[in-house]
Amino acid sequence: MANITVKFVNFWNGFNESDNRFVELLRTRHNVTIIPSTDPAEPDLLFFSIFGTPRHFGSRSIRIYYTGENDVPDFNVCDYAISFHPITFSDRHFRYPLYMLYNPYGVEGASCALSDDMATARGFCTALLRNTQSCDPMRISIIDTVESYKPITYGGPFRNNTGGPVADKIEFISGYKFNLALENSCVPGYVTEKIVEPFAAGTVPVYWGSEWVNNDFNPSAFINASNHASPVDLVKAISDIDNDSSRYLEMLNAPKFRPGVPGKYDEGLLEFLDNIVVNGRRHVSPYGMSGTIYAIDSLTRPAYHSVWTRRALKLLKKLSVI
């Protein structure tokens, strides 16, 4: 058992630096001390993510990149990476889907608290979207086609018809039979919390995204848009289940995960992190092309995160210049 210090920087708002899955797993084998992100002290392990002005450049720590977004880890600037990608790169990468940070064990045990009659008598379907500018057009196509069958209740900023964004997403979608669980993009392995939330709420997800969802989740517990040739065919399948209480209840009450999931991810992540601690090896080289890329990134990435740079890039993208 080693004594190690850990710091988390550039994670999203609300991320708990002292109580999260990474720390929880590390503490099963090591004595872990958390260095606050505001403290300039160097940790043994520096976990960094994608949000805000980068703070990992120049660090002498072992750098571990984590992303739940649809970006690819850059091993020129990180020693190790944890992402959703199904890639193998010696001992430097581990696939750990974003939904694993959303208490998947509680989700497996979740069930609809309503009687069968009340469950099938609920409102039709919900959708909660924020990002509609930088997402795959299929997302909006599915929404519009489902809307042509029955009105959708929108609880987020997009097309809101509830008087404003709802305060509690899980509570909100629990009042409806279906929830549109649509990823921002369809990328191999990219499975986020979007499918977990309707499961936790005791409703049926209508999922669109990576086919890898079938590797982790029980296909009998949700409607997978990828199994249908078009949004029209998808809506036909939704309509059939919506109008057949027996089929709906069977799907609603089916086990959520495939056997052994999510335990295999936590076991794998523990071994991945333990290997980093035990070996204490850094991989990013200050020499050759890798060193040049690192030096360039250390100058350009902070500049990119300037509010004016981001605004200019968004404008150019909107104008279809880039």
pLDDT tens readout for residues 59-79:
999 999 999 999 999 999 999
- Indicate if the pLDDT at residue 270 is higher than 70: yes
Output the pLDDT for position 321.
56
pLDDT band (50, 70, 90) for residue 319 = confident
Give 76-91 pLDDT, tens digit per residue. 999 999 999 999 999 9
- C-alpha torsion sign, points 212, 218, 222, 225: positive
Output the pLDDT for position 1.
85
Cβ contacts of residue 272 below 8 Å, gap of 6+? 80, 82, 91, 94
**Kind and range of the H or E element at 275?**
helix 263-279
Cβ contacts of residue 317 below 8 Å, gap of 6+? 134
- Indicate if the pLDDT at residue 246 is higher than 80: yes
- Indicate if the pLDDT at residue 320 is higher than 70: no
Lowest mean pLDDT of 26-35, 44-53, 170-179, 292-301, name the range. 292-301
pLDDT band (50, 70, 90) for residue 322 = low
The answer to whether the CB of 262 falls within 8 A of the CB of 218 is: no
- Indicate if the pLDDT at residue 300 is higher than 90: no
Cα distance between residue 65 and residue 51, in whole Å:
12
Output the pLDDT for position 298.
87
| 3-state secondary structure (DSSP) of residue 148 | helix
The structure tokens listed for 319 are 């104008």
The answer to whether the CB of 263 falls within 8 A of the CB of 96 is: no
Give 24-46 pLDDT, tens digit per residue. 999 999 999 999 999 999 999 99
Mean pLDDT of 170-195: 95
- Indicate if the pLDDT at residue 148 is higher than 90: yes
Mean pLDDT of 43-52: 96
Q: Closest by alpha carbon to 2, among 207, 278, 228?
A: 278
Lowest mean pLDDT of 42-46, 187-191, 295-299, name the range. 295-299
